[in-house]
Structure 1
Amino acid sequence: MTNLTPMIIFDHSRYRLKVWRNKAPLDVLAFTGQEALSQPFRYAIEFTSAEKGIEPAQMLMQQASFTLTSPAINPGIRWMPIVPPEPLRSVYGVISGFKLLSTSRDESRYEVTLEPRLALLARSHQYAIYQKLSVPEIVEKILRERHGFRGQDFLFSLAYSYPRREQVMQYGEDDLRFIQRLLAEVGIWYKVTADDRLKIDVVEFYDDQRDYQFNVYLPARNPSGMHGEEDAVVWGMETAYQVVEGKIATRNYDYHDARPYPGLNTEADVTRGDRTTYGEAYHYRDDYRIPGDRYAYQPEAESGVFYARLHHERYLNQRIRLRGMTTSATLVPGQELKVKGDAPETFRKGAIITHITNSARRDSSFEMTFTAIPYSETVCFRPERVPKPVMAGTIPARVSSTKVNDTYGDIDKDGLYRVAFNFDREKWPQGGESLWVRLARPYAGENYGFHWPLLEGTEVAIAFEGGDPDRPY
């Protein structure tokens, strides 16, 4: 009697590690990977090799790919050929870590860490000034000029048009933390994808829920035995709820118009009075100069209402957290997963994958744990804010002028100066080394004190309002 049930053949080579310029045979033993929105992925991959003396230089900083394939399938009919494995998904990046774990008579066991090129930005620590650039322009400048990224290596697809900022300071932060801080400030999220044609990792930047990958369907049932991607399932689904902040209030101080009036006060409630939220979160000193329209569908970028809504979306991202397990090797952050069958309503309506952890070993099958948030038309995923460095004390600078060897430094109608920071290595035009900076001076009497002009080249001590590196005086 002929068995018509297809058999899935267990094959240790379902996971393939390829390191450019490496000729040693690499047999994957186990791996654990983590991926998340607005974070570089990280894969720890154990492998064995008959070559016992692989040198670190053969691995570190080499481009590499890690491919997950489907299992081979035997149709169970004598005259039908075995269906060979097919690639399900490839991850491209660079080898950032290398270990020799053990050595036996026949082979050695190693481990490598595979990360996207973006992760290497954490090894670059800088002190720098950026002037008259928007947040996306600053990020692109760093990627292109400092790290050699080209047009095919990243993509900006943004719903908002972001204004150019007068000045932004990077003070001792590594480049990855710095750009993640700027992106989080304005609600831009990113994901790392793969270009299988060019065999490279690509960073994609978005700021709207319309840029999720929609309609990924998987059935709800417990896994049983070996399976291919077409048999991928979801199980172990959990939904956690908690009370979060009900509304947001913001206020800013702008010295350009420092009159005591409430024009820079704004409020936002994205839920419009949802009774499962509570309280007010008051955020002081978000950097904006216009309050914005609280009733606009899409308020002006970097206005007070814009920041208030972003704050509330971050809180609302924590209100409902979803968790589950799957055997799908193609589920990635940024997808909208809809679970079919007997599943909680939040999973059936659509869950936005925000984080995954996947793993497999020679003696165990592939498995993935994921976390998600419910899809919403009004609440988008927003990365958590990264704290700015706190500027304690003062830093040295010298008064600047547009004329070489000028007697006095340049001064504007409000008595502000431009200065050249001692740490800044950028070659700015003469007299254009900074934004206009206020001068602290005696203030008393009917005519508001006095002003002794500073000479060009005068050493000054620059302090920062609230320790904020973007608010020098």
Structure 2
Amino acid sequence: MLLGQNNRYLQLLGSLSNDAVLSKVEGDEYLSRPYLFTTKFYSAKKPEELKNCIGKPLGARVGDDQERRFIHGIVTELQQQGYWNGFYHYRAHLEPWLVLLKLTKNSRVYQNINVPDMVCGIFHKRGFNDVRVKLNNSYPKREFCMQYRESDFDFVTRQLEVAGIFYYFSHEQDKHVLVLADHPGAFSAASVSTLPYQSLTGQRQGIGLRAWNVHCRIIPCGAEMSGYNIKNATPVRGSAKVGSRFIADDRLSIYDVEGLEQQQQLSDRAALCLEQWESQASCARATSNYPALQVGQQFTLTGNPGADGRYAVGGQHLSAESNLESGEWLFSAQITLFAADQVWRPSRTILRPSISGVLSALVVGPSAEDIHTDDMGRIKIQFHWDKEHKKDDNSSCWIRVSQFGNGARFGAQFIPRVGNEVLVSFVDGDPDYPVVTGTVYNGVKMPPFTLPGHKTQSGVATRSSAKGSIEQGHQFCFEDKKDQEFILLSSQKDLQWKAKNDLSAEIVRDVRWDIKGKRDTRIDKGDDRLILNRGNKSETIDKGNFVIAVNSGNHRLDVSKGKASVSAGQTCTITAKQKIELKVGDSSLVITPAGITLKGPTVNIKGDGTLKLSAASTTVEGTGMLALKSSGMTKLSGLIVQTDATTLAMLKGLLTKIG
């Protein structure tokens, strides 16, 4: 081609080095911000031939062999702007590979990983490995961190800003490297160790800085962060004060809420908040004619009274034109500087996404468990969109579950089972702080009462664990169908009632107990009383014994009106150690260990067959008259029979025989 790149102030590098000539470069680069350089070049190639350059790396050299720098990036946009003297005029945007992450969107859960490892992992997964880590601080592992419908660029930027990690790009001839940093020592040294200040009235001689000006602004005097410790159920706060070198108003302070649980974490977050303000509190701006200076480099300024010292480059706007037509080149840069020993933190430019609604998720756990929980009743979940995890106990951290009427060892406790679908809300809309607010049925997990056939039924049904079948579990059911209302309380095994005071019930009609086993009733102290106002009481034992035992006290059976009867198919035995007494009016039968006493106005002893009185000595006595009478024959016999009368003895009969 007629226009070559030899001896040019600006040169293209890479695939276009032999097919184009660079005429102008202009762009901006700042700490923690993707750079954008616009290049203008001429080429004999048609637009159709150059469109393959889009998305490919391209490099440029700015300066001569003595004072130069490289600019390297990805061609993100290419425009054909004209045609001049046989050559097409093009404009191309060069940006870092980092901006390509804006073309992504992802939802993912990260666990037990710190911010640097998380960010680098995202870079590597996307195939970007030109990363250099210069970190001094330690970064705690995040127990749970969620990227939800965010581009990788927004997510990475947000995480770096929250952690206080800044970045810049190191441009090399054939690549650009993203440098992660968190301390002043992470800045690289400029190609020259010192740069002189050149006054506006002086004659320009060599490289240096001109048009020096300083910018300062007022910032808050302090910051306080508030959090909540879940384990201790207490608010926690941490605070920090601004450095003495900055201009702060004591009336102005920051008070914000963070989802952190430890005081030290909150104090660190407050200090980071102030460092972000301090990073914007003061800077110096100047014009540079030194092309090799890059953002992220540091140098020593000399010749500027009151401002000499070590500075780091925080940003610059660069403009350079090559020596094509006039034979002269032009270079100018407006640079932003700050003290090289100052801790610089990126401001928060990416707001976290706020999830105002709920998300659906699946309860997960180990394969051998159907209830997986910790001591606070928390569970583990996996969102349906999560394609990284395996629906086990590693899918999330412990997630709190909203319960009804919770308190110190009281309230409802229904732990969502593994495999259940739950609805997840987020505290203050923060994706990093989920809480399970409810469960829902689906086509696999159906309601316990068949619908719509049993739509009048309400209640609770549980499932036996582990691996209980659909018929195994407890049930508390309300049937509200008109004129068929009932309440069903069913237990898979045992049903225990406990009342610390009284148990009372009012039953309008019947009570039926159907007991397949045995029944035990124990009253430690008090009375057991049954009052039957009207009706009958029966107890039937088909087979077995009926025993009433009174260990201490009395047993009494009263029938005030009516009869009492005792019937035994075989034997009826009444036993007492002291006395048995049967009494009707003046008549009685008394049985004691000493004997039997039969007493009454009239005592009739009648035997249809034989009446036999037998004893060692028998006395029959009548205070009035004693009559022995028989319709047949009355016989008195014995070894000796003696009859005595104190007044008169009479033997009388139709025929009396003596001897």
Would you call these one fold, judging by a TM-score over 0.5?
Answer: yes
Correspondence list, 1:303-342, <5 A: 303-341=265-303
- Of 397, 402, 413 in structure 1, the residue corresponding to residue 375 of structure 2 is 413
Q: CA deviation at 1:344?
A: 5.6
Code of the aligned partner of 1:373: F
Q: Larger % of strand: which?
A: 1
Q: 1:55 and 1:412, CA in 2 relative to 1: closer, same or farther beyond 3 A?
A: same
Q: Which residue in 1 is equivalent to 2:343? A: 380
Q: CA RMSD in A?
A: 2.7
Question: Can you list the C-alpha shifts for 1:250-293, whole angstroms capped at 9, x where unaligned?
Answer: 22113232135xxx32221142596654334334333433223x
Q: 1:438 and 1:114, CA in 2 relative to 1: closer, same or farther beyond 3 A?
A: same
Question: Normalization by structure 1: what TM-score?
Answer: 0.83
Q: Helix, strand or coil for the counterpart of 2:68?
A: strand
Code of the aligned partner of 2:113: L
Contact 2:200 2:211 in 1 (8 A): no
Code of the aligned partner of 1:419: I
Code of the aligned partner of 1:15: L
Correspondence 1:426 to 2:426: no
Q: Which residue in 1 is equivalent to 2:24? A: 30
Question: Can you list the C-alpha shifts for 1:346-383, whole angstroms capped at 9, x where unaligned?
Answer: 4x12332211110123466110011122344xx41100
Correspondence list, 1:39-188, <5 A: 39-70=33-64, 85-86=65-66, 88-104=68-84, 106-145=86-125, 147-150=126-129, 153-188=130-165
Q: Helix, strand or coil for the counterpart of 1:443?
A: coil
Correspondence list, 1:190-209, <5 A: 190-196=167-173, 199-209=174-184
Q: 1:306 and 1:453, CA in 2 relative to 1: closer, same or farther beyond 3 A?
A: closer
Code of the aligned partner of 2:120: E
**Distance across 2 between alignment mates of 1:28 and 1:285:** 51
Q: 1:174 and 1:92, CA in 2 relative to 1: closer, same or farther beyond 3 A?
A: same
**Distance across 1 between alignment mates of 2:212 and 2:58:** 34
**Distance across 2 between alignment mates of 1:157 and 1:446:** 48
**Distance across 1 between alignment mates of 2:392 and 2:287:** 59
- Of 360, 363, 366 in structure 2, the residue corresponding to residue 396 of structure 1 is 360
Code of the aligned partner of 2:362: R
Q: Taking every aligned residue pair, what percent have the same amino acid on both sides?
A: 23
Contact 1:129 1:424 in 2 (8 A): yes
Question: Normalization by structure 2: what TM-score?
Answer: 0.60
Q: CA deviation at 1:170?
A: 0.6
- Of 368, 371, 376 in structure 1, the residue corresponding to residue 336 of structure 2 is 371
Q: CA deviation at 1:431?
A: 2.7
**Distance across 1 between alignment mates of 2:48 and 2:331:** 28
Higher relative contact order (CA 8 A, sep 6+): 1
Code of the aligned partner of 2:19: P
Q: 1:335 and 1:86, CA in 2 relative to 1: closer, same or farther beyond 3 A?
A: closer
Correspondence 1:356 to 2:316: yes
Q: Helix, strand or coil for the counterpart of 2:51?
A: helix
* Unpaired segments ≥5 residues, structure 1: 1-10, 71-84, 293-302
**Distance across 1 between alignment mates of 2:407 and 2:23:** 79
**Distance across 2 between alignment mates of 1:409 and 1:24:** 68
Code of the aligned partner of 1:205: L
Code of the aligned partner of 1:252: G
Q: 1:459 and 1:31, CA in 2 relative to 1: closer, same or farther beyond 3 A?
A: same
**Distance across 1 between alignment mates of 2:392 and 2:29:** 45
**Distance across 2 between alignment mates of 1:422 and 1:119:** 29
- Of 250, 261, 264 in structure 2, the residue corresponding to residue 289 of structure 1 is 261
Q: Which residue in 2 is equivalent to 1:233? A: 208
**Distance across 2 between alignment mates of 1:252 and 1:175:** 28
Q: Which residue in 2 is equivalent to 1:3? A: none
Q: Helix, strand or coil for the counterpart of 1:469?
A: coil
Code of the aligned partner of 1:369: Q
**Distance across 2 between alignment mates of 1:225 and 1:360:** 23
Q: 1:214 and 1:107, CA in 2 relative to 1: closer, same or farther beyond 3 A?
A: closer
Q: Which residue in 2 is equivalent to 1:7? A: none
Question: Can you list the C-alpha shifts for 1:57-77, whole angstroms capped at 9, x where unaligned?
Answer: 33112221111132xxxxxxx
Question: Can you list the C-alpha shifts for 1:131-161, whole angstroms capped at 9, x where unaligned?
Answer: 111101101110112x1133xx112121112
- Of 334, 345, 350 in structure 1, the residue corresponding to residue 306 of structure 2 is 345
Q: CA deviation at 1:334?
A: 2.1
Q: CA deviation at 1:110?
A: 0.4
Code of the aligned partner of 1:164: K
Q: Helix, strand or coil for the counterpart of 1:305?
A: helix
- Of 258, 261, 268 in structure 1, the residue corresponding to residue 240 of structure 2 is 268
Q: Which residue in 1 is equivalent to 2:489? A: none
Aligned length: 423
Q: Helix, strand or coil for the counterpart of 1:306?
A: helix
**Distance across 2 between alignment mates of 1:235 and 1:149:** 38
Contact 1:52 1:103 in 2 (8 A): no
Q: Which residue in 1 is equivalent to 2:651? A: none
**Distance across 1 between alignment mates of 2:275 and 2:305:** 23
* Unpaired segments ≥5 residues, structure 2: 1-5, 436-659
Code of the aligned partner of 1:266: G
